[in-house]
Amino acid sequence: MVKQFIERKASVIIPAYNEGPRIGQVIQAVIQSKLVGEVIVVNDGSTDMTSDSTINNGAYLVELKINSGKSNALITGAKLSSYDVLLFIDADIINLKPYHIDSLLTPVFAGEADTSLGVFKGGRLVTDFTQAITPALNSQRAIKRETFFLMKDSLQGKGYAIEVLIYRNIRKMRLQEKKVYLFGVSQVMKVEKIGFWRGFLSHLKMYWEILQTIAGK
């Protein structure tokens, strides 16, 4: 199936904030896909080795001096992209493989969908459960570049709520979305990265931004 689209390429955008220990493995999985033309890492004000890990693993690095939030990082990467399909991937994914990237891009390249959404399955129970009950918060998504820019203004400055807003826009625009199960893939939890209390507060901030968006603020 992949061979049919070998001449088509996607721009992969990875927003990253203090993901130095993890981002290298993600970049390596992405860069090995023959459907990927470029990998853009937007370093969102990190204070660790994220920049070095990005450069050492062969991705294009965009440096933001201060942490401006996930939505602004994704939009910044999209503006610099070269290809007509975008793929958003988080920097803290576990067990990501090149064939996962292919499975996300193929439905869009084949014209089967305007966008595809990656859903973790069989990785870790906690991430499987979270994505099953809150599909609108899933971050791994392929989407046509022109489609993303039609909704760009509504996403600016919305931080972690960007996934909810993309989800809303897709339904408002009546776009065709395809769910793609990413078997064996999971994600590092915030409490594992920065400790229980800091992770807990970070989760509260994320859900507060999302609730404000749902409430229409």
How many independent structural domains does the chain possess?
Answer: 1
- What is the per-residue pLDDT across 61-84, written as a single tens digit (0 to 9) for each? 999 999 998 989 999 999 999 999
Could you tell me if residue 158 is inside a domain? yes
Q: Is the pLDDT of residue 155 over 70?
A: yes
* pLDDT value of position 215: 56
pLDDT tier for residue 41 given thresholds of 50, 70 and 90: very high
Percent of the chain with pLDDT over 90: 63
Domain with 103 in it: 2-188
DSSP code string of 92-147: TEES--HHHHHHHHHHHHTTS-SEEEEEEESS-HHHHHHHHH-GGG---EEEEHHH
Instruction: Average the pLDDT over each of 48-52, 186-190, 209-213 and give the range with the smallest value.
Output: 209-213
216, part of any domain: no
pLDDT of residue 200: 47
Confirm whether 203 is domain-assigned. no
In a domain, 160, yes or no: yes
As a whole number, the mean pLDDT across the chain is 85
Residue 210 lies in a domain: no
In a domain, residue 200? The reply is no
| Residue 72 domain flag | yes
Residue 199 within any structural domain of the chain: no
- Higher per-residue pLDDT: 212 or 146: 146
Query: How does 195-209 read in b/e, with b if 16+ C-beta sit within 10 Å?
Result: eeeeeeeeeeebeeb
pTM, two decimals, is: 0.83
pLDDT exceeds 60 at position 193: yes
Q: Which of 123, 169, 119 is nearest to 139 (CA)?
A: 119
Report the CATH number that the domain containing residue 132 is assigned in CATH.
3.90.550.10
pLDDT for position 125: 79
